[in-house]
Structure 1
Amino acid sequence: MQRSTLLVVLLGLALAAEGCSTGQRKDDAPVVVSVIGGETKLADPSAGQLDSTERVLMGATAQGLVRFDATGQIEAALAERWIVIDDGRSYIFRLRESYWPDGAPVTAAQVVRVLRRAAAPGSRNALAPFLAVVDEIVEMTPTVIEVRLKRPRPDLLKLFAQPELAVFRTGTLDGSGPFRAQSRARGVLLSPVPDPGTGKAAPEPEETVHLLGERAALALARFKARESDLILGGSFTDWPIVAQAEIAPANLHVEQPLGLFGLAVLQREGFLAEASNRAAIAMAIDRAALTQAVRPEWTPLETILPSQLDSAAPPVRPDWAPLALDARQQTARDRVAAWRRAHPEPLTLRIALPSGPGATLVWAHLAEAMLRIGITPQRVGPADSADLRLIDAIAPYDSGRWFVQTACVACSEQAGALIAAGREAADLPARAQRIAEADAALTADGAWIPIAQPLRWSLVALRLGAWQGNTRGWHPLNHLRNETE
């Protein structure tokens, strides 16, 4: 652990009130939420990838046609109800009465415009590649929208519930709620959008949320000092800090949401040009030792798909999976030795990793695995030029197509063609078959090296009784205190 990080944690421990093992704060105070990430600012999803703080803020101040509840299930948002017709090729949404911060009503035309921009070819929205199935988004009436699909997509609502598809007004980046944002010296103050039917002039202090984007060590110190109620966005990179902070079990929540955690091959040149050599990298890694070094309960994984999901077949195991670890590593050494006999120059692979003590633990095990089989590893930053890059991503919806497409950074033409065929499949059985075939081709190609499921953690004060863990790793701020919010 870096000395500066340790000092911040120790400061938090020193500030913590004696006997306050659960981080409980007064119940009539604003809910203070720290999100591990960048500054607390609104960002336009059409401009590119949102970081964790931007996603939480967007989800709090702008909503899509639907959104997720505390359990990760779909609930109404801008749309009060919807129907699915034409064998799953048409979703019709009826909008509820909603208003922008200046009091102007949210119209179907505005919603259509935002969603069309997100789904347009060439859009930089992170979800645009998975919206190619959308044929047309039309305003049927001032309060009714139809989303017409080229093919059935039963998981469409899960995409529409993501913050990247929240509806906002460009330029001002303001939305219809469930909260309104006011800038503060640090972070933003979120106040719930008033319900016109209640006649209530202002929210109670405990109904507001003070949202902060900050480093993990500072967020942890704040929580230990009883200056916050919730930390969101924790991952493997900062888990060792939490593990040393003696957090009360009642406050600590660890999740392993559906997603990808592994190494993507970025270029198919030199040693990485051959599938057998890419497999050697995968065989060299002691996944159990790596995950246990970070957290003993962290689940290692050897397949691309975590389960069958919507594939026509169970996850494909690589050819080397039945081998014991010693046999795997010996086979990998033999392949590296054969390569080096033909190519006597030094063999170095650059591995791109994020910063943080957890990433350093992962790096230590990856480096040891590479050195064990005769490869010199070099750690580089996440944005640097590299041969392999660690990807740690939560799936936005429960489809094997997301897994194979996200894992295919520099995969074979065959795997890429099968992934595209899954996107264009005429019906669900054909789509399931293409996903299964893409899984098999991508596994044989070795361009994705699975390591584990994603690891996420949160710290939750007891006053937030409605907070719930879920398989999406998403925790909306309007579902923290009770289930009626």
Structure 2
Amino acid sequence: MVLMLGAILLTACDRRANSGPVVVSAIGDPPVYPPPGTVPGLPARVLLDATAQGLVRFDAGGQIEPGLAERWTVMDDGASYIFRLREAYWASGRRVTAQEIVRLLRRRLAASDNPLAPFLTAIDEIVVMTPQVIEIRLNRPRPDLLKLFAQPEMTLIARSPPSGSGPLRIVRAAANGRIAAWLRPAFDPGQADPDDQRELRPEQDVSLIGERAARAVVRFARRNSDLVSGGTLADWPLLATIDLPRTSVRRDPAAGLFGLAIARRDGFLADPANRTALSAAIDRGTIVAAIAPGWEATDRLLPEALDSAAPPQVPDWTLLTIGQRQAAARARVAAFSPVPVRLAIALPPGPGMTLLYGQLAAAWRRIGILLDRAGPDDPADLRLIDAIAPYDSARWYLATACMACGERATAALEAARLAPTTTDRGVRLAAADAAMNADAGFIPIARPLRWSLVTNRLSAWQANPRAWHPLNRLRPDPT
């Protein structure tokens, strides 16, 4: 596939014709509605967001915009959310009712496949107030709830048959297993002139494909698609093998975690001082410069204070030079074992992950650690976490990084979750950050790397911290 990529050269004319449907490649499996009990991959999440919606959704810039709710009021410091619903219809043409919304929301909160459920435990009840108004009541204030409700995992789907309420509709699916959905704007009764919606232009349609990154990049390079979405570090090196238009490669300022969680606490990793030494021995600036220049390295778990009452904890070793850090780490390894210590790291496939493995293996070999690579589902001592933050809370960062935390850090996180007020929550989150720093159960490396390939015709595409690009917000609204 690399040879195929390298063989494709683009001419100076890099523009794709500004006509016909927008063709989008989402990296991953073909997009279909995920069966109950399964966690959707990126293409399925893109399809859910395009054809279904929750109470709110993300716009092109990653900000909150109306979904099934046309407006809302937040009361009691985030302990009550009142939503006024707009007129909306399922794909079958049946009107969406408040009772259905409440029932489906309750089902999503209880679903075992919902990765957001651990961050929605403060919700006490969801009730219908009037045929147009519902209320979500919480037993603990959560001012940041809307960003969680804007995630694709909180979209609402009517089953039998599965269908959403827009903003796009599936009008047909291809049989070749790659173009999984042809999408068209749904009728919106909230627009002023219904007749305008019946005069749809071909450019308003979207052809959504789910495929491997290499195939998606080739399709884009041949000018057969307008967008490649969902690029990560795993496939970043593919872009260096092909001649792409200078302006087509876009990076998101993604907020989230990219680092190694300690998965097993035995042997060398049983001692927090040894775990700290492992983190200190990494030259993060060298790693990111070697793999993706401009990629932002980090040495701390929290990117900023967020809702914590204190600035992010910074490891003590940041005051030392890399030479001093590696010398101290080498001494700890030698004191533990006269022979090199072997550790296994679980990484997903992809050339970018191979480069990361090489950089980490070289850094740790200098201190007496031999690193073996394992598959993402294999037993391992360390596991990569590469995840976008769904909302701006220190608790998400701390809880996501806490794969196998010690008792003190776990207790501090639980205390933060149960905090009765926002002020108390901030204090407890600061304590949890300090406990996680002392525990050294996570090795931060960088911010998540997220990239897209974008043609000039998608002038409404915007980079954003959520690294999320709704299919109905890729082009300006038709005039």
TM-score by length of 1: 0.94
Deviations 1:209-261 (A, max 9, x none): 00001111111111111100011000111111113323223212112311000
Q: Name which of 95, 98, 103 aligns with 2:93.
A: 103
Report if the CA contact (8 A) 1:63-1:177 is conserved: yes
* Partner Cα distance (1:330, 1:49) in 2: 44
* Partner Cα distance (1:87, 1:462) in 2: 43
Deviation (angstroms), 1:483: 4.8
Deviation (angstroms), 1:417: 0.9
- State the partner residue of 1:25: 16
SS in structure 2 opposite 1:386? coil
Query: Which deviates more, 320-329 or 122-131?
Result: 122-131
| Alignment CA distance shift 1:484-1:472 (3 Å) | farther
Deviation (angstroms), 1:131: 0.3
The 5 Å alignment of 1:178-257 reads 178-181=167-170, 182-185=172-175, 186-196=179-189, 197-199=193-195, 200-201=197-198, 203-257=200-254
- State the partner residue of 1:477: 471
2:181 counterpart letter in structure 1: V
- State the partner residue of 2:103: 113
1:466 counterpart letter in structure 2: A
Q: In the alignment, does 2:286 pair up with 1:289? A: yes
The 5 Å alignment of 1:76-87 reads 76-87=66-77
Deviation (angstroms), 1:202: 5.6
| Alignment CA distance shift 1:8-1:202 (3 Å) | farther
Q: Name which of 131, 139, 144 aligns with 2:128.
A: 139
Report if the CA contact (8 A) 1:236-1:455 is conserved: yes
Q: In the alignment, does 2:387 pair up with 1:424? A: no
* Partner Cα distance (2:368, 2:344) in 1: 14
Report if the CA contact (8 A) 2:52-2:155 is conserved: yes
Report if the CA contact (8 A) 2:24-2:208 is conserved: yes
The 5 Å alignment of 1:39-54 reads 39-44=30-35, 47-54=37-44
* Partner Cα distance (1:49, 1:417) in 2: 28
Report if the CA contact (8 A) 2:253-2:463 is conserved: no
* Partner Cα distance (1:374, 1:171) in 2: 59
- State the partner residue of 1:398: 392
Deviations 1:28-79 (A, max 9, x none): 21000001111221215x6243211111111111101000111111000100
* Partner Cα distance (2:235, 2:435) in 1: 34
* Partner Cα distance (2:414, 2:184) in 1: 44
Deviations 1:182-223 (A, max 9, x none): 211332101110234423436221000000011111111111
* Partner Cα distance (1:473, 1:116) in 2: 27
| Alignment CA distance shift 1:87-1:289 (3 Å) | closer
Deviation (angstroms), 1:370: 2.1
SS in structure 2 opposite 1:321? helix
For structure 2, the residue ranges without an aligned partner over 5 or more in a row are: none
* Partner Cα distance (1:78, 1:351) in 2: 43
- State the partner residue of 1:173: 162
Deviation (angstroms), 1:136: 0.5
Query: Which deviates more, 457-466 or 475-484?
Result: 475-484
- Give every structure 1 segment of 4 or more consecutive aligned residues whose post-TM-superposition deviation is greater than 6 Å: none
* Partner Cα distance (1:288, 1:369) in 2: 12
Q: In the alignment, does 2:272 pair up with 1:275? A: yes
Deviation (angstroms), 1:88: 2.3
* Partner Cα distance (2:331, 2:379) in 1: 28
For structure 1, the residue ranges without an aligned partner over 5 or more in a row are: none
The 5 Å alignment of 1:344-359 reads 347-359=341-353
Deviations 1:324-350 (A, max 9, x none): 111111111111111104xx6x62111
2:343 counterpart letter in structure 1: L
Q: Name which of 242, 262, 265 aligns with 2:262.
A: 265
* Partner Cα distance (2:243, 2:311) in 1: 40
Deviation (angstroms), 1:484: 6.6
1:169 counterpart letter in structure 2: A
Deviation (angstroms), 1:123: 2.8
* Partner Cα distance (1:193, 1:229) in 2: 21
Report if the CA contact (8 A) 1:8-1:217 is conserved: no
Deviation (angstroms), 1:171: 4.6
TM-score by length of 2: 0.95
Report if the CA contact (8 A) 1:48-1:126 is conserved: no
Report if the CA contact (8 A) 1:194-1:202 is conserved: no
* Partner Cα distance (1:126, 1:484) in 2: 36
| Alignment CA distance shift 1:171-1:8 (3 Å) | farther
Report if the CA contact (8 A) 2:148-2:390 is conserved: yes
Q: In the alignment, does 2:148 pair up with 1:152? A: no
CA RMSD in angstroms comes to 1.6
Report if the CA contact (8 A) 1:263-1:390 is conserved: yes
